[in-house]
Structure formats: C-alpha cells, structure tokens
Amino acid sequence: MKEKSRNPLPLRKLSDVSLESRPYLAAPILPVQFVLAAILAALLLVTLLRTSPLLAAESDRELEENPSTFHIHLPAVINVYPAIDFEHVWAQNENGEERNAFMPAETVQITAAGRNKANNELLVTLDWEVQDACGETFSGSEQVSLPAGEWDISQPLGNPDCKGIYSFSMQVEHRDQTTMHSSTFVVIDPSSLVFQDGQAFDKCNIASVSQMQTWWDLSPYIGTNLYIGGISRYCANAQLDASWIYQVSQQGWSFIPTWVGPQAPCSGYKYKMSGDPDVAYQQGRQEAEAANAALLELGFLGERIVYYDIEAYSGTSECRNAVNWFLKGWTERLNELGSQSGAYGATCRSYVSDWAEVIPPPEYVWLAYWVKKDGEFKYDPDASVWNLPCLSNELWADKQRIRQYAGDHDEIYGGVMFNIDSNVVESKITIFAEEELAVAPQPDGLTGGSNGQIFRVTDLGMLSAERGWLLVGRQLYLTQDGGKSWKQITPDLAAGEQLLGVFFLDENTAWLVTHETTVDKLRLYSSADGGDTWESTSLEVGSALVDLIYTAQIQFSDPQHGWISFKIQSSRNFSLGTLLSTKDGGQSWVEYPQPIGGEIHFVDEQVGWLVGGPTGEESYISRDGGATWEVVEMIPLSAHSHDLLDRGLTENPRLANLPDYPILVDFWGDTFGWAWVQSSQCRGEKVRSGETAVPGSEPFLCEVSGRLLKTKNGGQTWFEIDLGYIGGEITID
C-alpha cells in the first residue's frame, strides 16, 4: 500500500486577507479602546471557528471564498488544523479485547481509532493491508462516514492459522490529509509447562533475538528469565513483546517470567508493600492481576508460571507476616486467573521457609543461594537445588525448584558476552510447543582447561613492565619476570574464608579483603613487602545484609586514602552496594551509602567515579571522597581502571589484534599490557525443554578455555604467557 503525499494546510496572516490596511502601531502603550476592540474581534473569530460546523470542517475553503469576512489590524497568524485525527491501530479478539498475541484459528480483527473534530459526519477513504506469517498480503479500500467526536473502525481478518508475526497497517484519507498507522501481532502456540532438568540464566535487560540465537547455539543454557513488569522493575526491556517471545521460543528457549513489585515493608527499597496484613493481602491480589495481564500481552496464553521477586531483608515477625499475607493474595488471585504462582528469594534472608506456611503457598520457588566455585562465580554443571541453608529438602520437593547459584558474572559464547546469574532448574518451566512432548532430562555439561577443569583468572594487574599479579580462585600469584615464573603470595586463610578483592598500590604495598562466611566476618589484609608477609584487621560494615556481601573492590590513591566498595547479593533487577573510606591507611574506616553496586575508581582523594547498576551502564561522580554521589551521563576514558575498561573493550584500538575475546585487560603505560582472553566451543545436539534427544546422538557439551596474553608494543602483537596450570596450581618454571 502506497502512502499518499501530505499537503499541509497553508498558514495565513489575517491582516493579509483584510480589505483594509493600517500600519502596525509600535508605540509602547496602545490606546485602551484599540486593545479592547482587538480582543473582541479575536474572540469573535474563535467563536465562529468553534461553533460553525462548516468552518470547523471546511475552514480553509471558507477563508478562500470570503477573504474580506474578517477585519483585524494586528499581526496575527491562524493555523487551520486538519479535521480528522487518526491516532493508532491495534488488534483485538472477537470480544473486543486488545491483544498482541493470538492462538491459531482464533478470531482476529484490526481496529483504527481517532477523533473527528467537526460537528458533523465526514466521508473518508479507509485503506488497509495485512501481511501474514505465510508470506501472503491482503488489502482493501472503502468509503466510510466518520461520526463527530471519537471514532473507531474495525476490519475482521478471520481466523489466521499461520504461526508467526503479522504486520498490518490502516490509512485514512480525508481531502488532502492522509495518515497511516502500522502495528503487529503474533499467532503463537499456547504456552505449556514441562519439566526441565538443566540450566537457565537471567539478566536485567533481555538480549536481542540474534544474540539469543548465538547463545542457544553456543552456550549450555536452555532457559532464560524475563522481567515482565512491576513498579520495582529497573530495566525497561523495551524489546520485550509478543514478537520477541515468539522468535526466541522458536530458537528453543524456555522462560521464567518474573514480576518485580513492592518489597517487604521493613526493607530499604523505594516501593514497599504495606505492613498491615489485610492491606498487603489485597496488594498481592492486585500485583497478580497486573502480572497476569502482562503475561497475556506477551503471548503466554496457555499454561504459565510467574514468579514474584522478594528481595532479601532484615525483618521482624510482623514484617515477615505481612510478606506472607502478600504472597497469599498473590497466589490466590493467580490461581483464579488460570496462572500458577512462583516466588523468588534468598533462602535465608527472604525467609523462604515461611512461605510454606501460607495457605495456599506458592506452587514453585526460585531460590537464591550463591556459592563460588574455585573462588569465582561461574557456570557449574554440578550445581544442585537441594541441601540449601534455612530450607528443608521436604519443602517444594516435587519438581518445584529453581536455584540461582552464581551471581553477577560474565560469560561469553560466540563472541557475545552477557553479565548474568546462573541457575539450575529442576522444575516445570514455561515453553511454547505444538503438542505435549516426552519428558527427558537434559544432558548438559561444561568442560575446559587442562584436566577437564575451567581455568580462569578472576583479576590481574601490572606493576611494571615485568612485574604483576594474578588472582586465580582463592590464590594470589606474583611474577617479577614478565610471567616466566610465579610465586604464590596468598595469606593463610581460614576454612570458608573467601577472597573478595585485591589491590596493589605499588610493587610492595598491597591490600586484600576476605569474607569468612561461617561467621560472617570481613577482614582486611595489608602487606608492605610485596606479599611476603601480611597483617590483618577486622572490618565492620553496618549493612543488615552483610552476610550477602559477595565481592569487594579495593583502591588506594596514596598510602593513606583508600576505599572498599562492596556488592550485596540481589536479583539481576537490583544492584546494591556500600562503601568504606579511610584517611589513615586503613586504621579506621567510615561507611558511606553507595547508590548502586559497581566499580569505583578514584583519581585523587576527593574525586571518584562509580559505574555499574543492574545494566552495568549507570555512571556517578563523587567530589567529596565518596560521601555523596551524583549521576553523570558518561565518564572520561582517563577515569577508567582496568575493571571498568573491560565494559568497552571492543572499541579499544590496542585490543583490535587480540585472537580471542578479552575479559580482563591492564596496561603499564601505553606499551606493555596483559589480557586474559576466553573462547568457547560446543558440540553435540542441544535439546530444548521437554524434548527427547535423538537416540545415539552426542550429548551437548561446551568447552570454555582461557589464555593470558602479553604485549610489548601497545597491542600490535600478542604472545601467550605459559601458566603451567596443573591441578589448580600455577607452577614456577
């Protein structure tokens, strides 16, 4: 359908159409009589235009035929607006309900709506066109009389049965005014629930369809989380619609829809549910209705589960009781609407065991309990939904559990890197399939490095052209000869003491932070001799969620002024952090609130930058040593540390010649640099949830490998540093 050209109505000066001509009075003060006369004449003009049907609908012609009708002698301009407003189009079912998704053979009609600003009916030409998922195009044209005021016109499409994306447009033409609007809808199989025994990932903003295809082809994951809405949802997920769901479901992905509404009344979040159990119960029902409507809009028209995100909090029994009543309303209303209820939370600090006492309880749980493997968060094919703290194995024991086991880490497949949380699934999960499929566990796994292990450097730093350090799991190593030999310099750590962060100010002065998880104690270690000896002191953090601290970034601008930025566990929708600052070399610390969890870099004792948040793209600046922060659009490249730099590595010309994808990079000056790069390769048949692998086919396996590279000429050429990685240790050459 060809859109006709638009001819805007001309702007006219009323003084030009007057038969009389008088000079414009430029005196500072006009005679009162003259001003009153001008105002009365203008009011008369407005009244005529508003009250006369002829003038309202056909005003441009009337002005042309009677150019001497009005006599106004002030500079004035009139804009004659079009008589027809055509505002938007949409698809709806036979009951008149607006929809973006339909099941095969369901009745569909498209509707156009707008406003007729005349007081009488106006004749227009209506053109419409539909391109269906089968590749065929249908169109039509007719004359239609639009009533005065609000109008809508519907065009039935019948019962489309080709699954896929339909695009349609409608065009309204009135005289020389032509307006067209377009939209889409999807015909999709009804959603269904199948048991999944495999892995899923979640991230704040959804990825593009092409990126999801890459991860389906080259990653070990078969499910993904979707933040579908709620007042506390941080990431807008602008791409998330029925078309995205359809395309990604065709790739094979299964889904974990999640709703992020008000949080516990005693939490520190902006939006909170009521502390009154009766009010909280009603709020839970209201959130269920909103979540169910969002599911239907996205195309989840059959069986479906939606999870409510209950973030960790430190609560009294009254606060916990209010959350329970909220979840009661949530579950009851979802069940009434044909959906099944799920809830997400930290096993201990969201008080998940309480939920089992709710009548009715959520039918499914998504449990957050993060554990580092080999000192880092990463994909773990051996992760389990069982034997978690604060929760009995007897609760939600019948294929009803998802566990988020690794948070806030980068994984890269096919050159596409996501910052994600990793999840193991032993539960029913929502998919789109033509028919019920046979249930079969998913063969999955991930191997890499020597001896089938995933070897990864989790942090690094250069101290000179030949001297630098690596953090590998719980072990810290130092080289003084450019990587030819390595010395382990890790302090003696207690059992269960996790190393959270490392910082070297120079070749001799270093600090590291640990978290002793068994007793929830944070410790600061310092060294003045390059790691040969260490002294330790305890660190006090005022956050009520100190047990959920999982990483720390340390920085000193000089031997006296330093900062430690902590990140606190949350879902991908949130980002929590707190900051410690010292002005006496670490003898005493002051705690400051941090607006987001992120990476810090102080350029001096006053000015610092913070980058992070749920998307990793928020930027802040502090001009008072971290006491307060303000939002900025972007930060200069000179303010980046190597931790911040790896968010934009692909645009750094010094990295253009790297053979694999860079994960960590650090340079000493412009010439000498290190880069930890990663690559992956998959083989075998990947099977979507609920389907059965072809007999005799090779199980789907992904291998991830990493290498440490160095350059001596600013990135023109790179050479591999042989780490001699054997059995989890770096040996000295």
pLDDT digits (tens, 9 = 90+) for 113-169: 999 998 899 999 999 999 999 999 989 999 999 999 999 999 898 889 899 999 999
Task: Please give the average per-residue pLDDT across 76-97, as a whole number.
Answer: 79
**pLDDT at 62 exceeding the cut of 60:** no
- Could you tell me the pLDDT band of residue 304, with boundaries at 50, 70 and 90? very high
Backbone angles phi, psi at 261, to 5 degrees: -105, -155
Say if residues 254 and 688 touch (Cβ distance below 8 Å): yes
Span 395-431, pLDDT tens digits: 999 999 999 999 999 999 988 999 999 999 999 999 9
Per 3-state DSSP, the chain is made up of helix, strand and coil in percentages (nearest 5) of 15, 40, 45
Backbone angles phi, psi at 192, to 5 degrees: -145, 160
**pLDDT at 708 exceeding the cut of 80:** yes
- Could you tell me the pLDDT band of residue 636, with boundaries at 50, 70 and 90? low
Pick from 365, 434, 441, 433: nearest CA to 196 = 441
**pLDDT at 27 exceeding the cut of 90:** no
| Whole-number Å distance between alpha carbons of 667 and 646 | 12
Q: Across the beta sheet with 590-594, what order do the strands follow?
A: 549-556, 562-568, 576-582, 590-594
**pLDDT at 460 exceeding the cut of 50:** yes
CA 428 to chain centre: 24
| Whole-number Å distance between alpha carbons of 577 and 593 | 7
Task: Please give the average per-residue pLDDT across 297-306, as a whole number.
Answer: 96
| Whole-number Å distance between alpha carbons of 586 and 539 | 10
- Report the 10 Å Cβ neighbour count for 415: 13
Task: Please give the average per-residue pLDDT across 171-181, as a whole number.
Answer: 92
Span 657-668, pLDDT tens digits: 888 888 889 999
User: Which positions ≥6 away from 325 have C-beta within 8 Å?
Assistant: 277, 278, 280, 281, 284, 358
What is the maximal distance between C-alpha atoms in the chain? 102
- Could you tell me the pLDDT band of residue 518, with boundaries at 50, 70 and 90? confident
Task: Please give the average per-residue pLDDT across 271-289, as a whole number.
Answer: 98
Residue 563 identity (one-letter amino acid) = W
Q: What is the pLDDT of residue 434?
A: 57
- Could you tell me the pLDDT band of residue 638, with boundaries at 50, 70 and 90? low
SS3 547: helix
- Residues of the chain above pLDDT 90, percent: 64
**pLDDT at 441 exceeding the cut of 70:** no
- H, E, C per residue of 89-136: EEEECCCCCEECEECCCCCEEEEEEEEECCCCCEEEEEEEEEECCCCC
Span 183-231, pLDDT tens digits: 999 999 999 999 988 999 999 999 999 999 999 999 999 999 999 999 9
DSSP 637: G
Task: Please give the average per-residue pLDDT across 447-451, as a whole number.
Answer: 30
**pLDDT at 526 exceeding the cut of 70:** yes
| Whole-number Å distance between alpha carbons of 321 and 355 | 10
SS3 651: helix
- Report the 10 Å Cβ neighbour count for 639: 17
- Could you tell me the pLDDT band of residue 639, with boundaries at 50, 70 and 90? low
Say if residues 115 and 150 touch (Cβ distance below 8 Å): yes
DSSP 263: B
Q: Which phi-psi region, left, alpha or beta, contains residue 158 (left: φ > 0; alpha: ψ -120 to 50)?
A: left
Say if residues 436 and 691 touch (Cβ distance below 8 Å): no
- Could you tell me the pLDDT band of residue 543, with boundaries at 50, 70 and 90? confident
**pLDDT at 447 exceeding the cut of 80:** no
Span 65-85, pLDDT tens digits: 344 444 444 444 444 457 899
User: What does the block give as tokens for 543?
Assistant: 């956050």
Q: What is the pLDDT of residue 52?
A: 40
Span 553-585, pLDDT tens digits: 999 999 999 999 999 999 999 999 999 999 999
Q: How far is CA 392 from CA 2, 315, 325, 406, 670, in A?
A: 65, 21, 21, 21, 55
**pLDDT at 438 exceeding the cut of 70:** no
Q: Which phi-psi region, left, alpha or beta, contains residue 377 (left: φ > 0; alpha: ψ -120 to 50)?
A: beta
Give the containing element (helix H, strand E) for 216.
Answer: helix 209-218
Backbone angles phi, psi at 570, to 5 degrees: -160, 175
Q: What is the pLDDT of residue 36?
A: 46
Cα Rg, the chain, nearest whole Å: 32
- Report the 10 Å Cβ neighbour count for 341: 26
| Whole-number Å distance between alpha carbons of 32 and 19 | 24
* Domains within the chain, CATH numbers bracketed: 11-79 (no CATH), 84-187 (2.60.40.10), 191-436 (3.20.20.80), 452-730 (2.120.10)
Mean pLDDT estimate for the chain: 83
- Could you tell me the pLDDT band of residue 25, with boundaries at 50, 70 and 90? very low
Residue 486 identity (one-letter amino acid) = W
User: What does the block give as tokens for 593?
Assistant: 């609130």
Say if residues 292 and 339 touch (Cβ distance below 8 Å): yes
Q: What is the pLDDT of residue 680?
A: 81
